[in-house]
Amino acid sequence: MRVFAVQWRREVSAYFGSSLAYVLMSFFLLMMGGSFWMLVHVLSKGAGSASVMSELFGSIFFWIATLVIIPLITMRLFAEERSSGTLEALMTAPVREVDVVLAKFAGALTLWAGLWLPTLSYLYVLRVFSASAPAFDLGTIAGGYLGVFLVGACFISIGLLASILARNQIAAAMGGFAAMSLLFFSGFIPYLLHEDRFRRVGFYASPVSHMLDFSRGVLDSRAIGFYLINTVFFLWVSVRVAEARKGA
């Protein structure tokens, strides 16, 4: 546990010790500012809190921010260490590969969660300065942020695997973006293929549908299990790859 904590602090410090975290935060807030504009537009039509949360967690701005930022967060996890020559020293140190992988995952997830903290102010601003703002239901708010955490964790685990497999950061970012986009666009399968089995698979694997449910406060155990299982799976594969690289 001590090794994990040291590695986790190292990862978080690496993010905020460079300009990357601040560039990503600026881009993220720019994108979510678009969602905030859509929130105001929805409220002007007298929509309820569920519709407001859907705009915050299901808009095109949300998905652009997610699909662009997470590959940029994860691309450096292993690829940067490989290009700088520190990966060999890290992997030959007396630390377990699982501790290294989990610490890097936790560091990236910490940054992802930190990016979302300022968005809590959107709800406060709407509530205080808008007479027409609905009484936000804590269930829909908690559900939306839970979805953000689960989707983010799953995508980060995919990006981490791409980083450990890639030879440089550009390849890691492109590989992670391609894999995440494939999962994202699986939600369109029901609209392209009309067979029931394909429709069921599409709806089950669709992050878009899941986030809309989470933003309404609907906590489907199948969706939660989907992200937890996939996150654990990709982390497990990353650990196996790290062990193979160490033994090579």
Residue 138 phi, psi (nearest 5): -60, -30
The pLDDT, as a whole number, for residue 107 is 93
The pLDDT, as a whole number, for residue 227 is 94
Residue type at 146 in one-letter notation: L
Question: Largest Cα–Cα distance in the chain?
Answer: 64
**What angle do the packed helices 2-16 and 20-43 form, to 10 degrees?**
80
Question: What's CA 162's distance to the chain center, in Å?
Answer: 14
Q: Are 43 and 129 in contact (CB under 8 A)?
A: no
Say how many domains are in the chain. Answer: 1
pLDDT below 70 — which residues of the chain? Answer: 42-52, 84-94, 127-136, 190-195, 198-199, 202, 246-248
Q: What does the radius of gyration of the chain's CA atoms come to, in whole angstroms? A: 19
The range of the structural domain enclosing residue 195 comes to 2-247
The pLDDT, as a whole number, for residue 193 is 66
The pLDDT, as a whole number, for residue 89 is 61
The pLDDT, as a whole number, for residue 228 is 95
76: which 2 tokens?
């450096």
Residue 75 phi, psi (nearest 5): -60, -30
State pLDDT tens for residues 189-219.
Answer: 766 666 677 667 767 788 888 888 888 888 8
The pLDDT, as a whole number, for residue 97 is 83
pTM score: 0.88
